[in-house]
Amino acid sequence: MVKPLLYYATLSPPSRAVLLTAKEIGLELDLHAINLLKGEHLTPEFIKMNPQHTIPTLDDNGVIIYDSHAICSYLVEKYGKNDKLYPKDLIKRSQVDARLHFDSGHLFARLRFLYEPILYYGSTDCSIDKIAYIQKCYDIMEGFLKEHDYLCGDDLTIADFCCIATITSVNEVAPMDSSKYPKVVAWMERLSKLPYYKESNQDGADELKSLFKEILANNKAKTSH
């Protein structure tokens, strides 16, 4: 079998959601690193393949898929040994889809709103409203996890992978008070015990948070002169 080719970066939360999914289903990917800070996603070839010029982008034998949520569900459908990570049952699937949209439309969107101007455009705007906006997502997730171990019930799904990749990339910049969010903290600890978790997610999340702090400090130093 020709391995599916993934354009990705370890710094990128949605790329890491795909890496976690692939590990859980035992699928080997052909990994092609893209350096966003060097603009490697803005070449004519990349834009021809993905006009949205985002990573992750999957090339599965000529089938191009972008958006991590779509990639994760595709990989489970096509290569998963069972449907636990993305249930075929209509009601269960609707719950997973809802959480995937929560990551896409709320959690990751708020991270990007805070991170992108600082990482790419020299901004120093780390204002309290942007931080509080992310922390509101922690409140919502505490509710999702009230009676369950995972975001969609008692089983791990791709929604957990998408949300953990995002939240671990922002949780120190938008601090998470463990007394206020005990369920979210316990969920993060639960996922961190997966054997492939550190290399597939935590290392990249730590790298992104360090880079964010370093670039923010540089931007502040530049504007103070």
Catalytic residues: 12
Residue 12 is a binding residue for ligand GSH (CB under 6 A): yes
Tell me the CA distances in angstroms from 114 to 14, 59, 128, 133, 212, one per residue in order. Answer: 16, 30, 10, 10, 10
Residues 29-58 that bind ligand GSH (CB under 6 A): 36, 41, 53-56
In the set 4, 7, 8, 14, which binds ligand GSH (CB under 6 A)? 14
Using the contact rule CB under 6 A, the part of the chain among 62-70, 123-131, 180-188, 195-203 near ligand GSH is 62-70
In terms of CB distance, is 68 or 200 closer to ligand GSH? 68
Using the contact rule CB under 6 A, the part of the chain among 65-73, 76-84, 144-152, 193-201 near ligand GSH is 65-73
Residues 76-135 that bind ligand GSH (CB under 6 A): 104
Instruction: Give the single-character DSSP code of 3.
Output: P
In terms of CB distance, is 25 or 165 closer to ligand GSH? 165
Question: 11: closest CA among 213, 176, 165?
Answer: 165
Q: Give the helix/strand (H/E) hosting 83.
A: none
Which neighbouring-strand residues pair with 169? none
Residue ranges that bind ligand GSH, judged by CB under 6 A: 12-14, 36, 41, 53-56, 67-69, 104
